[in-house]
């Protein structure tokens, strides 16, 4: 299984600012994903982070709000831009190496005030 | 994404078996997952099953799949206090790694 770390683990941010979340995997992986878990809710896929190309966003999520980078096969970042209180959530990255086992990072708990 | 539905709460006595149920709508071949989320933690992959299987067992965990009814269950034998958590059912279609999650079932283990 892949070991995934995320930074920061939590943050409290003011509205209108941006936060970049880092996701590091201990091995090279084919696919990386970013999910959002709003308070008391289930997980929703934001986008697929593709190495060497633009991320693929799901309906309801746009690149201007959630820019993603994937510079190599072990690392990705998600930026939450121009934050509002509605962006308060847990943001999780996940990965698979091409098998159907998908592993998640510990999450970044974001509170926007 | 596909619809995945779960009951929201389950209370079980320590030592008893827990059964968490899930239904999904995808009619094609698919992978089905169970994840565990403890308070303040990320998601832990417990087990997964491909839709051409009926059952999968791993120590205290048993997954049963009724493909005709699109019904998935997770049985936890000899439930312990450490099993108290939210359990998520998730589905991904064949050749697509995107997961669609259920709302999660909060399992409370009482002494």
**DSSP secondary structure string for all residues of B80-109:** -GGG-EEEEEEEEETT----EE---EEEEE
Does residue A86 sit in helix, strand or coil? Answer: helix
Q: Report the pLDDT averaged over residues B66-78.
A: 94
Task: Find, among B57, B51, B97, B88, the residue nearest to A99 by Cα.
Answer: B97
pLDDT value for A52: 81
A79 touches A20 (CB < 8 A): yes
pLDDT value for A20: 98
Please give, rounded to a whole number of angstroms, the shortest distance from the CA of B60 to a CA of chain A. 20
Q: B93 — contact with chain A (CB < 8 Å)?
A: no
Residue of A nearest to B45 (CA): A103
Q: Report the pLDDT averaged over residues B78-83.
A: 96
Closest partner residue to B99 (CB to CB) among A102, A106, A107 is A102
For residues B40 and B71, the model is more confident at B71
Q: Which residues contact A59 (CB under 8 A, 6 or more apart)?
A: none
């Amino acid at each position: 299984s892949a070991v995934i770390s995320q930074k920061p683990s939590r943050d409290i941010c003011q509205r209108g600012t941006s936060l970049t979340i880092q996701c590091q995997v201990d091995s090279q992986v084919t696919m990386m994903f970013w999910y959002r878990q709003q308070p008391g809710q289930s997980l929703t896929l934001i986008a697929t982070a593709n190495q060497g190309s633009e991320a693929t966003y799901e309906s309801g999520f746009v690149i201007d709000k959630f820019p993603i980078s994937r510079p190599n096969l072990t690392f990705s970042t998600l930026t939450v831009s121009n934050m509002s209180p509605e962006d308060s959530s847990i943001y999780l990255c996940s990965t698979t190496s091409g098998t159907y086992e998908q592993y998640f990072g510990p999450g970044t708990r974001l509170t926007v005030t | 994404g596909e619809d995945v539905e779960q009951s929201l709460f389950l209370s079980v006595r320590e030592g008893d078996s827990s059964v968490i149920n899930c239904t999904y709508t995808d009619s094609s071949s698919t992978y089905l997952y169970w994840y565990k989320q403890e308070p303040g933690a990320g998601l832990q992959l417990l087990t997964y099953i491909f839709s051409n299987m009926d059952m999968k067992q791993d120590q205290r965990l048993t997954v049963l799949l009724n493909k005709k009814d699109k019904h998935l269950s997770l049985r936890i034998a000899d439930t312990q206090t450490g099993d108290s958590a939210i359990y998520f059912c998730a589905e991904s279609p064949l050749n697509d790694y995107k997961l669609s999650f259920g709302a999660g079932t909060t399992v409370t283990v009482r002494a």
